[in-house]
Structure 1
Amino acid sequence: MTAAASSREGVPHASLTFHGAAGTVTGSRFLLQTDRSRVLVDAGLFQGERAWRRRNWEPPFVDPGSLDAAVLTHAHLDHSGYLPVLAAHGFTGPVWCTARTAELAEIVLLDAAHLQEQEAERALLHGYSKHDPPRPLFTTEDATRALRLLRPIAVELLQRVTPDIDVRLRPAGHILGSSFAEVDVAGCRMLFSGDLGRPGHPLLSPPAAPHDVDVAVVESTYGDSLHPAQDEEHLAAVINRTVRRGGSCLMPAFAVDRTPVIVHSLVRMQAARRIPRLPIYVDSPMALRAWEVYRSALADGDADLRPDLKPDDLGWDENVIRVPDAAGSEALNEPDRPCIIVSASGMATGGRVLHHLRAQLPHERNSVILTGFQVPGTRGQALADGAQHLKIYGSYVPVHAEVVSVLGFSAHADCAQLVTWLSRISDPEVVYVVHGTETSAAALAKRLRKQLGWTTVAPRFGERVRLV
């Protein structure tokens, strides 16, 4: 939109405020405002460093009752996890998302509420919370209230959200149901990338090509790095030497998408005899429920999934063992033989993986294999950086196990893939680079300026910019 067009009489003012994912990787919250409307694009939790996590507990950045609607790009907590807080404080508007995102969000938000309630109870029992009494950020009741607001819409369908804001959700290839949002705000055409997937994802179809826009808001999780071409060789080497030591491999993994991708790869590697045929335990109730959503999508011929997938690609190999109950999980703290344990959460911020880490980190025979991006301030990042001790449930645990990062399983596009995807649009007025560390956001902004000649900005937290 040109300056002349934006100054036309009768055209409403419109602005965008970065209430999250600015200066940090998590907490995606982008507020669109016009003279008539308030719409939030994504409503995520801050994760990682304490200074950011504390913001989750602050009073809402906007009067939740004043929001007309929200748009959800996908179900991960750093994009959806603040919805229960908004709902608890009076937000009642529709939340537009894809049908698969609605399915996965129910699993993710209810699980997050359960873990927070469980953690509050544990903190009360052992006295290590700074809250008195300890309390969850949101409850199961809050999550249920938020889930009632979800309004699934078909991919590629233009949806009128308010009288002056329209939204179209298009495939992003990051997790099942993930989308990027093309938004018309009072005549200004916008693109919100959400989390953009890799074109070579083993289960998902590549992201759709974006349409031309005036303003783009793009993630930069890997804005300063390239993914390795193939990490299975690295993974096989770690597993083989761990088995030779008589140890077990613990793989913290995101429950949604990452777990089926990793297990799919492990089964293929075992079939090819690149690693021993060890038991593969999937120890995450959320991952098991999410896996069933993937299996249902495959049976339905969902276009999000690669067309060349076969039913067995998301089936249960006889060597893959589901661990739905707590007793079975506890037995894996000290396995009686070498095995592979895939357990959530992927950044060791909560869930069953914490029990396994506490039991297995002190032993040199074991290995911990990190398979995804580790947000600064998380236990996963501490392990990746070579921590000698890790604080779990209020006590420090020594780290003697081998810790290895295997990053070839990432579900995010790297810097080159982001530039290639964005280059399909023609000369936007400005690109805002978000959802990355300050270093990665600045690196991607610089690359876009240099390679495409675009105006690019890494916005500050809380910064407001005018659109029209």
Structure 2
Amino acid sequence: MKDDGAPRLGFLGATDSVTGSRYLIEHEGRRILVDCGLFQGYKKLRERNRAPLPVAPASVDAVVLTHAHLDHSGYIPALVKQGFRGPVHSTSGTADLCSLLLPDSGHLQEEEAETSRLRGSSRHASPQPLYTARDAVDSLAHFRPHAFREPLDLGGGIEAEFVPAGHILGAAQVRLTIRPGAGERPLTVHFTGDLGRNDDPLMNPPAPLEPARVLVTESTYGDRAHPQEDPAEALGEVVRRVAKRNGVVVIAAFAVGRAETLMLHLARLRRSNRIPDVPVYLNSPMAVDATDLYQKYPEEHRISEREFREMYALPCMVREADDSRLLNLRGGPMVIISASGMLTGGRVLHHLEAYGDDPRNAIILTGYQAGGTRGASLLGGATSLRIYGRDVPIRAEVVSIQSLSAHADADAILHWMGACPRRPEMVYVTHGEVNASDTLRRRIQHELGWRARVPEHLERVDLDEPR
């Protein structure tokens, strides 16, 4: 049975990790889930995807999504499969991207389960996906797209608004306004989602923070600043170096956002003759389709029509699985851009199997690597990776270009907060590894003088008296 009374906020995910974003708003018998993401990384976190949601999915009235990345949207098909029948509200860009990401996620889960079964690498005799591609397609019927800044009535005195966040296409900050009753002051809860960068080469900057009583902020880079290097030049140096030794550059990229940024940088490098004329392959059907979507929403990004044409002319777009397998036989010199960005799945794993053992080659990591992922292991100096039940030796050069990140770093988040004309009553610091969240908490307290803390997993707080 639903809880009535004072508005409450429950932290169902992203409280002790940088994945599994899920926040539950409860007020006057209504339940609104802000984000519905997958847990990724460490096994103990991934196992939460199989655990029952703390509330019955059928009791959730609506889902409001900040953006399409799977750590924010990837649990939706499972939620629907388990009985959720309400609407999923998002921006139009997020809805379009989820129509690509969610079925692909289901397909990859089916593929990985089948590969584990054939190789005997699972402790289960018949491993099953969390959901299938069909489940994901079925869940898309629940999506209700909205424009930025469009007022959205969620019922029960709860209203929502999507505010531009930068980061990727469609990404939004979410402002929820709860109206307790006649004569009572409205209560606004502001969720940053994943906050973009002011200097992102692809996306427009995030909108300024407007006053709110409660702020729920991400802290992905809460304990660090982005390097001051030019990401295009860093990328060009690797391509030039590896091409000279006839090697293969395997770039692990998030299919949405990062692949487009990489294509933009590579096209600019090619135009200025700063990289040799080696073949470039975009081996991700989802990234190919996502790139098309960026042309549908020109108001959200900074790419001109000319640069779009150059981006499209640069790579060979690989869709078919057979063509993907042929890349593993081709050899260098060449550049392959493939997902997933943290090496948690996807076609990039097959390229690591093919090219990871050769020191002439290079593996480029282009963004945040959550703890427990293969990408984090490589950053930590691992000389082999467990892929489909087999230990794959890694002798290729490993390069991390963190300046390619689409997240605001700690300094940018604090500057964004500090420009707000009125401080919130409380800031909840979430969506970061333990040290990142706690470091950002301390800086918010000491540099801004705001109340801030890191909530516990599954904690519920009273929004009338946030503590």
Tell me which amino acid in the other structure corresponds to 1:214: R
Match of 2:334 in 1: 339
Match of 1:220 in 2: 219
Match of 2:77 in 1: 84
Match of 1:137 in 2: 130
For residues 253-292 of structure 1, the aligned pairs below 5 Å read 253-292=253-292
State the alpha-carbon separation in 1 of the partners of residues 65 and 141 from structure 2.
14
Residue by residue, what CA displacement relative to the aligned partner does 1:431-450 show, whole Å, maximum 9, x if unpaired? 00000000000111111111
Runs of 4+ in structure 1 deviating by more than 3 angstroms, as ranges, are: 316-319
Tell me which amino acid in the other structure corresponds to 1:412: H
User: Contact (CA 8 Å) 1:216, 1:428: kept in 2 or not?
Assistant: yes
Q: Does 1:51 align with 2:50?
A: no
Match of 1:5 in 2: none
Q: How far off its partner does 1:133 sit?
A: 1.3
Match of 1:4 in 2: none
User: Contact (CA 8 Å) 1:248, 1:335: kept in 2 or not?
Assistant: no
User: Contact (CA 8 Å) 1:334, 1:360: kept in 2 or not?
Assistant: no
Q: Does 1:428 align with 2:424?
A: yes
State the alpha-carbon separation in 1 of the partners of residues 285 and 152 from structure 2.
34
- TM-score, normalised to structure 2, is 0.95
Match of 2:306 in 1: 312
2:354 paired residue among 356, 359, 375: 359
Match of 2:112 in 1: 119
Q: How far off its partner does 1:26 sit?
A: 0.3
Match of 2:321 in 1: 326
Match of 1:71 in 2: 64
- Equivalent position SS for 1:169: strand
Residue by residue, what CA displacement relative to the aligned partner does 1:250-305 show, whole Å, maximum 9, x if unpaired? 0000000110100110111122122212111000011111111112223xxxx212
Residue by residue, what CA displacement relative to the aligned partner does 1:72-104 show, whole Å, maximum 9, x if unpaired? 010000000111111001101111110110000
Q: How far off its partner does 1:337 sit?
A: 3.1
Match of 2:190 in 1: 191
Q: How far off its partner does 1:12 sit?
A: 4.1
User: Contact (CA 8 Å) 2:166, 2:206: kept in 1 or not?
Assistant: yes
Residue by residue, what CA displacement relative to the aligned partner does 1:410-430 show, whole Å, maximum 9, x if unpaired? 110000111111123211100
State the alpha-carbon separation in 2 of the partners of residues 311 and 347 from structure 1.
30
Percent identity of equivalent pairs = 44
Q: How far off its partner does 1:373 sit?
A: 0.5
Tell me which amino acid in the other structure corresponds to 1:314: F
State the alpha-carbon separation in 2 of the partners of residues 121 and 397 from structure 1.
19
Moved more, 213-222 or 157-166: 157-166
State the alpha-carbon separation in 2 of the partners of residues 335 and 444 from structure 1.
46
Q: How far off its partner does 1:164 sit?
A: 1.7
Match of 2:183 in 1: none
User: Contact (CA 8 Å) 2:27, 2:156: kept in 1 or not?
Assistant: no
User: Contact (CA 8 Å) 2:343, 2:373: kept in 1 or not?
Assistant: yes
User: Contact (CA 8 Å) 1:260, 1:314: kept in 2 or not?
Assistant: no
- TM-score, normalised to structure 1, is 0.94
Structure 1 runs not aligned, ≥5 long? 1-10
- Equivalent position SS for 2:29: coil
Moved more, 18-27 or 125-134: 125-134
Tell me which amino acid in the other structure corresponds to 2:216: V
Q: Alignment length, in residue pairs?
A: 452
State the alpha-carbon separation in 2 of the partners of residues 312 and 381 from structure 1.
36
- Equivalent position SS for 2:63: strand
Tell me which amino acid in the other structure corresponds to 1:189: T
Moved more, 420-429 or 36-45: 420-429
Match of 1:25 in 2: 18
Residue by residue, what CA displacement relative to the aligned partner does 1:320-343 show, whole Å, maximum 9, x if unpaired? 111111121111113343011000
Q: Does 1:252 align with 2:245?
A: no
Q: Does 1:460 align with 2:456?
A: yes
Tell me which amino acid in the other structure corresponds to 1:313: E
Structure 2 runs not aligned, ≥5 long? 181-185
For residues 399-438 of structure 1, the aligned pairs below 5 Å read 399-425=394-420, 426-438=422-434
Q: How far off its partner does 1:317 sit?
A: 4.5
State the alpha-carbon separation in 2 of the partners of residues 105 and 20 from structure 1.
20
Residue by residue, what CA displacement relative to the aligned partner does 1:48-73 show, whole Å, maximum 9, x if unpaired? 00000000011122101111111001
1:450 paired residue among 446, 455, 464: 446
Moved more, 136-145 or 282-291: 136-145
Match of 1:394 in 2: 389
Q: Does 1:106 align with 2:99?
A: yes
Q: How far off its partner does 1:18 sit?
A: 0.6
Residue by residue, what CA displacement relative to the aligned partner does 1:91-123 show, whole Å, maximum 9, x if unpaired? 011111101100000100000001111111112
State the alpha-carbon separation in 1 of the partners of residues 85 and 314 from structure 2.
46
Residue by residue, what CA displacement relative to the aligned partner does 1:333-369 show, whole Å, maximum 9, x if unpaired? 1334301100001011111000000111110100001
Tell me which amino acid in the other structure corresponds to 2:14: A
State the alpha-carbon separation in 2 of the partners of residues 133 and 234 from structure 1.
45
User: Contact (CA 8 Å) 2:248, 2:331: kept in 1 or not?
Assistant: no
- Equivalent position SS for 1:249: strand
Match of 1:368 in 2: 363
State the alpha-carbon separation in 2 of the partners of residues 59 and 132 from structure 1.
22
